């Protein structure tokens, strides 16, 4: 099939190479002036991989869209609405958009699939691709499992068949709400894990995982999703890659934050913490972990005290 990848960062470049490696014709779009894309254009390499000559590199969004039957989008979540507005001006009818990023729009609190559907009125399918996995592990040949889902089961099945392999085994994920919220929220839990590492409280990660999953399950249920989805690959199943891996940007951000170190790479959980704080108010829910991370990052409260207050809250039934 013809696949276009929009976004030339770490994950987008990997997806382009991966799609090529399983037999598809691939184009990769990057913004003109993007440092990441310029490096790929000049040398076809970045810090993680080398791109084969067969992959078309272009800074023309129209060219990339015209090339792809399936369009994979891997850009920072807060840039999605702007990109979707550009896509709406192009001929994308009957194409399939697959959102390969995790986040919630800060201003609206909307899921990323909602953002796309608001801006793009053409008849098309919108899917999500979420779950655990780091480029470094995949490039080393270490397999993992991920989830693809949409509101159209025929579309989901086609994508799983077209994009699955021995390296990435794909599962159907029909609960879009649960998978999108779960995937975005795990990055906030990842920041909390990094803060615990930085404070030498790593032993509390077990409690963090147990209570974090339950907290997000309540939110998913309130938003109309299936709370059990949170215990699947999009959230709990991604905890190992996000809370423990040295490659996790969100964990690294949290650890660096409490150590006073500057972290220059994208940590989506920073934005998601703000969005979840707003959603907690909207749905009148207690999200103690997410609230603690919000207070730590945006209100500069002492992370040591904030997290200790959370773990030392009054005793209550776990569930």
**Spatial CB neighbours of 281, under 8 Å, sequence gap ≥ 6:** none
The pair phi, psi for residue 6, each rounded to 5°, is: -105, 115
316 part of a folded domain: no
Instruction: Check whether residue 194 and residue 127 sit in a common domain.
Output: no
Question: What's the confidence (pLDDT) of residue 1?
Answer: 95
Instruction: Check whether residue 114 and residue 156 sit in a common domain.
Output: yes
Count of structural domains, the chain: 2
Paired strand residues for 54: none
Domain end call among 172, 187, 213: 172
Instruction: Check whether residue 157 and residue 213 sit in a common domain.
Output: no
- Token couple for 86: 């550009």
Instruction: Check whether residue 17 and residue 103 sit in a common domain.
Output: yes
Provide the residue-wise pLDDT of the chain in tens; the chain has 319 residues.
999 999 999 999 999 999 999 999 999 999 998 999 999 999 999 999 999 999 999 999 999 999 999 999 999 999 999 999 999 999 888 899 999 999 999 999 999 999 999 999 888 899 999 999 999 999 999 999 999 999 999 999 999 999 999 999 999 998 999 999 999 999 999 999 999 999 999 999 999 999 999 999 999 999 999 999 999 999 999 999 999 999 999 999 999 999 999 999 999 999 999 999 999 999 999 999 999 999 999 998 888 888 777 776 655 544 4
168-172 and 96-99 beta bridge pairing: unpaired
44 part of a folded domain: yes
Where residue 110 sits, what CATH number does that domain have? 3.40.50.720
28 part of a folded domain: yes
Closest CA to 11 of 53, 74, 103, 80: 74
Domain end call among 139, 172, 205: 172
Q: For the sheet with 70-73, list strands across it.
A: 56-58, 25-29, 2-6, 70-73, 96-99, 125-130, 144-150, 168-172
Q: Which residues are identified as catalytic?
A: 186
Instruction: Check whether residue 103 and residue 206 sit in a common domain.
Output: no
Instruction: Check whether residue 299 and residue 166 sit in a common domain.
Output: no
Instruction: Check whether residue 125 and residue 140 sit in a common domain.
Output: yes
319 part of a folded domain: no
Instruction: Check whether residue 29 and residue 116 sit in a common domain.
Output: yes
Instruction: Check whether residue 34 and residue 168 sit in a common domain.
Output: yes
**Spatial CB neighbours of 61, under 8 Å, sequence gap ≥ 6:** 6, 29, 86, 87, 90
Question: What's the confidence (pLDDT) of residue 131?
Answer: 97
Radius of gyration, CA atoms only, the chain = 19
Spatial contact of 188 and 276, defined as CB atoms under 8 Å apart: yes
Range of the domain at 164: 2-172
Instruction: Check whether residue 151 and residue 280 sit in a common domain.
Output: no
Domain end call among 125, 144, 172: 172
317 part of a folded domain: no
Q: Please tell me the pTM assigned to this model.
A: 0.94
Instruction: Check whether residue 148 and residue 9 sit in a common domain.
Output: yes
Spatial contact of 10 and 135, defined as CB atoms under 8 Å apart: yes
């Amino acid at each position: 099939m013809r696949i276009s990848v929009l976004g030339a960062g770490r994950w987008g470049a990997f997806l382009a190479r991966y799609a090529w490696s399983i037999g598809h014709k691939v184009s990769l779009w990057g913004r003109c002036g993007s440092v990441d894309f310029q490096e790929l254009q000049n040398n076809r390499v970045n810090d993680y991989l080398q791109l084969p000559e067969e992959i078309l590199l272009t800074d023309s969004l129209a060219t990339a869209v015209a090339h792809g039957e399936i369009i994979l989008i891997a850009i920072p979540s807060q840039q999605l609405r702007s990109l979707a507005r550009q896509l709406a001006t192009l001929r994308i009818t009957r194409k399939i958009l697959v959102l390969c990023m995790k986040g919630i729009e800060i201003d609206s609190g909307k899921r990323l699939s909602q953002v796309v559907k608001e801006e793009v009125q053409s008849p098309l399918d919108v899917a999500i691709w979420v779950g655990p996995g780091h480029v470094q592990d995949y490039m080393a040949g270490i397999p993992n499992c991920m989830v693809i889902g949409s509101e159209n089961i025929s579309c989901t099945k086609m994508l799983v068949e077209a994009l699955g392999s021995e390296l990435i085994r794909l599962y159907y994920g029909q609960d879009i709400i649960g998978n999108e919220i779960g995937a975005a929220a795990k990055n906030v839990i990842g920041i909390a894990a990094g803060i615990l590492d930085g404070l030498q409280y790593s032993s509390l990660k077990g409690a963090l995982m147990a209570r974090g999953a339950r907290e997000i399950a309540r939110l998913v249920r309130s938003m109309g999703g299936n709370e059990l989805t949170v215990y699947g690959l999009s959230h709990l199943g991604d905890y190992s890659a996000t809370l423990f891996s040295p490659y996790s940007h969100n964990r690294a951000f949290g650890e660096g934050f409490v150590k006073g170190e500057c972290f220059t790479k994208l940590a989506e959980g920073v934005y998601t913490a703000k969005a979840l704080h707003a959603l907690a108010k909207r749905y009148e829910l207690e999200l103690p972990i997410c609230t603690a991370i919000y207070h730590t990052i945006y209100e500069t409260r002492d992370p040591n005290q904030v997290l200790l207050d959370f773990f030392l809250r009054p005793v209550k039934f776990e569930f």
